[in-house]
Chain A
């Protein structure tokens, strides 16, 4: 079965560097904590979105990377509404799960918070992107031991072939024990980069491991 999907653009955030289509866009001091780093990127992007500061770190990462990608790709609101989102990671929401567990571990100091609990789901990252960009398309969150280019490619093809979506936002957004990696790419018929397992794996490796 043939399809004509191509990569429109891709973005990565890792080791205090934000890169767009493989070119560093924002580079920050390595001594910054993620909280400081994310705030600086937020400022640099001139965002005005107070909800950002209520989010857990994984959602902050998702919001920043999707903002950069959508600043770069101009899509009208009608087409944007139908974008499908296919995200993945290794740790699901464990970074926040551990924080929530601490709030219920001690019976003398028991303070479960709905504001923390709601972030104990990996697909909240998709939900936050959808709210920010008014996207109502197809959603799925996959968990895998490592970035699975094959699965993301196959599933994006399924969504396109089954006429569920013409544009699919795919990627890997992981925040675990203060280590973070984000890699996001949009595929559609209109991109100019080849879309197959090899090409995705290649740009993922270049962006996640090289800087």
Chain B
């Protein structure tokens, strides 16, 4: 099978509009989560992109009035990634789009200036395709909270099997009253900024972001990251509750490791999902222990961004890539006292460490789970 590499990337978040700006903030343990008083019925913590900053950045490439907030975020993210990529868009380039809820805010006709039909995700896909002039129909993945990381596996598999030579992936989701009220109805929202894996955790904090990457079968840079394995398995247990034995996540990790032909001891860092609900973090802990990964340094980035739904898996993979390049294990923000039933090596304070192999995982509603393995290659001169 052809090797597939992940190259240029971008993050649009409250912490910055490039991956590098985001990393600068993460190095300072700075979070995008602040108290908001205009989303739902009551004030709550969330990580939200400032509209004025977004519009002023978007003006460089298009008319802010013509596009929804999510479209602007995703287009800006893709624009920066395309600019930084050494291949150009051709009929062998896939456009892969990942989102959990798309333009869901347009369903509220009292607040939205756009037609409710804009909620069709295929319309969002066409807007992005036409904006950049992609030849191919977009490949859109809407698979709950694993969408972002699953899109990496999908693009890699299509390129490996020679259906495409390269791909641009863009993932995004916004904070809306729709999702906030839904998680509130589940009593899943934390009163304070979320605290993944902590004894004091009591739910998620929501956030919004867009992220984009370029994926290619050509390896032109001296330091490159290869996608070496993936898996996406179902728990077959419950549509909203995390599995008790972590089965789907365990199977996903096993599948990725078998493909990559590596042992647990070869993994240097795990970028986990860590939503900070009681049951999710416990489920992940069980799966990581079953996979003999309990000693591998691990973090959840939800303390910086909140849960950005379909964007989270791609956004967190990008931070993972920069962790590998910088050989830095970043703080799992919000972690104080471990509050899960089995051992887990949560990174309490950022530190230098050689990272050659990174495991990214995510889990979501519908019993979905995904694991992807990344490997850093350093070519001889």
Asked if chains A and B come from one complex, the reply is yes
Q: What's the nearest-Cβ distance from chain A to residue B229, in Å?
A: 10
Tally B residues with Cβ within 8 Å of A: 57
Query: Does A148 reach chain B (CB closer than 8 Å)?
Result: yes
Instruction: Kindly provide the distance from the CB of A171 to the nearest chain B CB, expressed in whole angstroms.
Output: 15
User: In the complex, what distance in Å separates the CA atom of A133 from the CA atom of B126?
Assistant: 35
Q: B46: shortest Cβ distance to chain A, in Å?
A: 16
Residues of chain A from 124 to 151 with CB closer than 8 A to chain B in the complex: 124, 126-128, 130-131, 133-145, 148, 151
Q: A137 contacts which chain B residues (CB < 8 A)?
A: 233-234
Q: Is the CB of A112 within 8 A of B185?
A: yes
* A157, B366: Cβ atoms closer than 8 Å: no
Chain A contacts with B in 52-107, Cβ cutoff 8 A: 81, 85, 90-92, 94, 97-98, 100-101, 104-105, 107
Q: Which B residues are within 8 Å of any A CB, using their own CB?
A: 1, 41, 100-102, 104, 107-108, 110, 119-122, 125-126, 137, 139-144, 150, 154, 157-158, 160-163, 177-178, 181-182, 184-186, 231-240, 247-248, 251, 255, 259, 364-368
Q: Contacts A100-B178, A101-B178 given; indicate if A123 touches B139 (C-beta within 8 A).
A: no
B154 partner, pick from A110, A121, A140, beta carbons under 8 A: A140
A139-B368 in contact given A101-B178, A114-B240 (Cβ < 8 Å): yes
Bound together, the chains give a CA A127 to CA B369 distance in angstroms of 11
Closest to A154 in B: B163
Contacts of B140 in A (CB 8 A): 142-144
Q: Which of A33-41, A159-167, A183-191 lies at the interface?
A: A159-167
Contact present for A145 and B122 (CB under 8 Å): yes
Contact B231 A164 (CB under 8 A): yes
Task: Judge whether A104 and B178 touch: CB under 8 Å.
Answer: yes
Q: Are A136 and B259 in contact (CB under 8 A)?
A: no
Is the beta-carbon distance between A144 and B122 smaller than 8 angstroms? yes
Within 8 Å by CB of B157, from A85, A136, A155, lies: A155
Note all chain A residues with C-beta closer than 8 A to B366: 121, 123-124, 126-127, 139
Whether B239 and A138, one on each chain, are in contact in the complex, defined by CB atoms closer than 8 angstroms, is: no
Report how many A-B pairs have Cβ atoms within 8 Å: 160
CB contacts (< 8 Å) of B119 on chain A: these are 94, 97
List the 8 shortest-distance A-B pairs measured between CB atoms, nearest first.
Answer: A127-B366, A117-B182, A158-B157, A130-B234, A112-B185, A123-B366, A145-B122, A130-B236
Quote the shortest CB–CB distance from A94 to chain B (angstroms). Answer: 6
A113 lies within 8 A of chain B by Cβ = yes
B143 contacts A123, CB within 8 Å?
yes
Most buried by B among A118, A136, A144: A136
Chain B hits for A107, CB < 8 A: 41
> Which of B108, B122, B158, B236 is within 8 Å of A154, CB to CB?
B158
Question: A101 near B182 (CB under 8 angstroms)?
Answer: no
Judge whether A121 and B185 touch: CB under 8 Å.
no
B121 to A127, Cβ gap below 8 A?
no
Residues of A within 8 A of B104 (CB): 97
Q: A1-B161, A118-B365, A164-B231 are in contact. Are A90 and B141 (CB under 8 A)?
A: no
CA distance A107 to B154 in the complex (A): 41
Q: Is the CB of A164 within 8 A of B255?
A: yes
**Residue among A114, A122, A145, A157 making CB contact with B182, cutoff 8 Å:** A114
Asked whether, in the complex, the Cβ of A158 is within 8 Å of the Cβ of B186, the reply is no
Q: How far is the CB of B206 from chain A (nearest CB, A)?
A: 13
Q: Does A120 contact B (CB under 8 A)?
A: yes
A127 touches B239 (CB 8 A): yes
B157 contacts A127, C-beta separation under 8 Å: no
User: Which listed residue, B120, B177, B234, B247, touches A127 by the CB 8 Å rule?
Assistant: B234
Cβ contact within 8 Å between B367 and A127: yes
How near does chain A come to B147, taking the closest CB pair, in angstroms? Answer: 9
The smallest C-beta distance from B380 to any residue of chain A, in angstroms, reads 29
Q: In the complex, what distance in Å separates the CA atom of A117 from the CA atom of B184?
A: 10
A-chain residues with CB within 8 Å of residue B365 when the two chains form the complex: 118, 121, 123-124, 127
In the complex, which residues of chain B have a beta carbon less than 8 angstroms from the beta carbon of A122? Answer: 142-143
- Least CB distance, B258 to chain A, in whole angstroms: 8
Contact B182 A100 (CB under 8 A): yes
Known: A126-B234, A137-B234, A140-B141. 18 other contacts (CB 8 A): A1-B162, A81-B236, A94-B119, A98-B107, A100-B178, A101-B107, A118-B239, A123-B368, A124-B239, A127-B234, A130-B367, A131-B239, A136-B248, A140-B154, A145-B137, A154-B158, A154-B161, A158-B158
